[in-house]
Amino acid sequence: MKMLSRSSFLARLATLTPAVATRSVIDEKYYSTSDAPAKHPMYSPSERRDFMAVFTDLNRQLSLEDLPKELVPLLGKHMTKCIQYNVPDGKKNRGFSVPFTYKLLTDKSQHTEENLRLAMVLGWTVEFLQAFFLVADDIMDQSETRRGKKCWYKQKDIGLTAFNDSILLETCVYTALKQYFADKDYYMSLVDLYQEVTKFTSLGQALDLISAETFQQKIGKAHSLDHFTMERYKAIVKYKTSYYSFYLPIALAMRLAEIKRTDFYEKAERILLSMGLYFQVQDDFLDCYGDPEVTGKVGTDIQDGKCSWLVVMALQRADHKQTKELALRYGSHKEEDVKWVKNLYTELGLKKLFNHYEAEFYDDIQDMIQQISGDELPQQIFHSLLARIYKRNK
């Protein structure tokens, strides 16, 4: 396994700073949605360069060095392109949360070259898992764009080969875990966590897809809206999004820091799953109201008949006539039908309702974080995550 030279890696790591002081109140101006760097003060340019340097090594290792030798000339170029196209271009909040959290959980004496590199490698395994989910999800949803460019399966000469590529991206997670952590006491704990979270995410995706498929089964000329309930919505979000996007990175860092108390994991899980729900509600809102130039994708929840927060809330507020019309138009790809649904959302005041939900969530999550004592877990783990997602626009 090729690694950065000690001198070059130490030079990069020398600029890594301890976590910034916790901000107990999120200031609207400080975390301006139009000013991305200000919204992420814990990420310095040098830290991002260090993180990306580890990805470069991993890409070479996973796409070339770890392939059977006879497959390198046949698949090496494809693997490199697949990884480069799908893994590194997102916001990387999930991945960077691992080294950031690890440093908060451990004493400076543990911030050795090896440990910090392991934390960054572990962070990239989350990004590889994310890429696996997104490549497959885009195929299932027949999406057009992702992160501001064409979905992988829409690329020339890729097509449904992308489905197998998603599986290859998942194998990269376990290859990296074995290469870097097989000699660690917590290795199997990492593997078990990944298997459990992947299972949860797949179950959430199944519920999401089945909900959309059930919706497409028409009763006469109208769709059935009966299954668009808040109970179902929360179950989809919990398993499809919250575990891998919020709980996984923090739980990985806790394992790397060799934290074993189950009650600490349970307290973290409660807060992180709540953040995951808020994050998905935001995502649903941005799918309808976000600017594709900013979000990097064109929203299709209405056309796909998804069980989104907006349609669930619309059904709670709509009268009989509106509900009947919504059943006819929701899930249609016709421009006039999509426009009608969006107009209904406006008429029902869903933008104002979202703003109210967001403010209420913020107060509730602050209370939950304050209940965590410093002897258990640093509150800044959760404050930093909150800062990254609160009032985001992409």
DSSP string, 285-338: HHHHHS-HHHHSS---HHHHT---HHHHHHHHH--HHHHHHHHHHTT---HHHH
Here the CATH number for the domain that contains residue 135 is 1.10.600.10
Catalytic entry in 23, 81, 89, 141: 141
Q: Is 132 a catalytic residue?
A: yes
Per-residue pLDDT band for 102 (boundaries 50, 70, 90) equals: very high
Do the domain assignments include residue 25? no
Do the domain assignments include residue 212? yes
Q: Among residues 33, 38, 24, which one has the least CA distance to residue 382? A: 24
Q: Is 284 a catalytic residue?
A: yes
Query: Taking 50 as the threshold, does the pLDDT of residue 20 lie above it?
Result: no
pLDDT of residue 135: 96
Name the amino acid, one letter, at 248: L
Do the domain assignments include residue 32? no
Do the domain assignments include residue 38? no
Both 105 and 217 in a single domain?
no
pLDDT of residue 9: 37
Q: Is 283 a catalytic residue?
A: yes
**How far apart are the C-alpha atoms of 290 and 176, rounded to whole Å?**
35
Per-residue pLDDT band for 206 (boundaries 50, 70, 90) equals: very high
Per-residue pLDDT band for 253 (boundaries 50, 70, 90) equals: very high
Both 208 and 152 in a single domain?
no
The domain boundary residue, chosen from 163, 183, 203: 183
- Helices (H) and strands (E) counted in the chain, each on its own, are 18, 4
The arithmetic mean of pLDDT across residues 296-321, rounded, is 92
Both 245 and 122 in a single domain?
no
Q: Is 208 a catalytic residue?
A: yes
Catalytic entry in 165, 208, 301, 337: 208
Do the domain assignments include residue 95? yes
Which segment of 14-28, 269-283, 325-339, 377-391 scores lowest on mean pLDDT?
14-28
pLDDT per position as a tens digit, 36-88: 333 444 567 888 889 999 999 999 999 999 999 999 999 999 999 999 999 99
Both 155 and 191 in a single domain?
no
DSSP notation for 72-112:
HHHHHHHHHHHHHHHSTTS--HHHHHHHHHHHHHS-GGG--
Radius of gyration in angstroms for the set of CA atoms belonging to the chain, rounded to a whole number: 22
Query: Taking 90 as the threshold, does the pLDDT of residue 194 lie above it?
Result: yes
Q: Is 91 a catalytic residue?
A: yes
Per-residue pLDDT band for 235 (boundaries 50, 70, 90) equals: very high
Per-residue pLDDT band for 214 (boundaries 50, 70, 90) equals: confident
pLDDT of residue 21: 32
**Into how many domains does the chain fold?**
2
Contact yes or no for 31/39 (Cβ under 8 A): yes
**How far apart are the C-alpha atoms of 306 and 388, rounded to whole Å?**
26
The arithmetic mean of pLDDT across residues 269-280, rounded, is 97
Do the domain assignments include residue 37? no
Catalytic entry in 165, 284, 287, 301: 284
Which residues are registered as beta bridge partners of 218?
Answer: 223
pTM for this entry: 0.84
Both 149 and 222 in a single domain?
no
Strand stretches in the chain, DSSP E: 145-146, 149-150, 218-219, 222-223
Listed in sequence order, the residues at least 6 apart from 307 whose beta carbon sits closer than 8 Å to its beta carbon are: 208, 211, 212, 215, 227, 228, 232, 233, 236
**How far apart are the C-alpha atoms of 288 and 298, rounded to whole Å?**
9
**How far apart are the C-alpha atoms of 225 and 208, rounded to whole Å?**
14
pLDDT of residue 3: 39
User: Please, what is the Cα angle at 116 between 193 and 98, to 5 degrees?
Assistant: 40
pLDDT of residue 216: 67
Query: Taking 70 as the threshold, does the pLDDT of residue 221 lie above it?
Result: no
Both 252 and 105 in a single domain?
no
pLDDT of residue 33: 33
Both 339 and 376 in a single domain?
yes
Both 202 and 179 in a single domain?
no
**How far apart are the C-alpha atoms of 393 and 243, rounded to whole Å?**
22
The percentage of residues in the chain with a pLDDT greater than 90, rounded to a whole number, is: 71
Contact yes or no for 81/113 (Cβ under 8 A): no
pLDDT of residue 205: 93
Do the domain assignments include residue 30? no
Contact yes or no for 132/170 (Cβ under 8 A): yes
Both 271 and 169 in a single domain?
no
Catalytic entry in 57, 138, 283, 337: 283
Catalytic entry in 146, 329, 392, 394: 146
pLDDT of residue 217: 65
Per-residue pLDDT band for 376 (boundaries 50, 70, 90) equals: confident
Both 100 and 169 in a single domain?
yes
The arithmetic mean of pLDDT across residues 193-199, rounded, is 98
- Three-class secondary structure of residue 145 per DSSP: strand
Q: For residue 202, give Cα distances in angstroms to 129, 198, 238, 317.
A: 12, 6, 11, 31
Averaged confidence pLDDT in the chain = 87
The percentage of residues in the chain with a pLDDT greater than 70, rounded to a whole number, is: 87
The domain boundary residue, chosen from 127, 155, 183: 183
Catalytic entry in 50, 57, 66, 137: 137
Both 211 and 239 in a single domain?
yes
The token duo for 385 is: 């995550």
Do the domain assignments include residue 23? no
pLDDT of residue 25: 30
The token duo for 225 is: 């809206």
The domain boundary residue, chosen from 128, 151, 183: 183
Q: Among residues 53, 70, 61, 59, which one has the least CA distance to residue 16? A: 53
Query: Taking 70 as the threshold, does the pLDDT of residue 118 lie above it?
Result: yes
Structural domain boundaries, residue 149:
8-18+43-183
The token duo for 360 is: 């209420």
Contact yes or no for 255/197 (Cβ under 8 A): no
pLDDT per position as a tens digit, 127-184: 999 999 999 999 988 888 888 899 999 999 999 999 999 999 999 999 999 999 999 9
Contact yes or no for 276/238 (Cβ under 8 A): yes
Catalytic entry in 240, 255, 306, 388: 240
Both 74 and 140 in a single domain?
yes
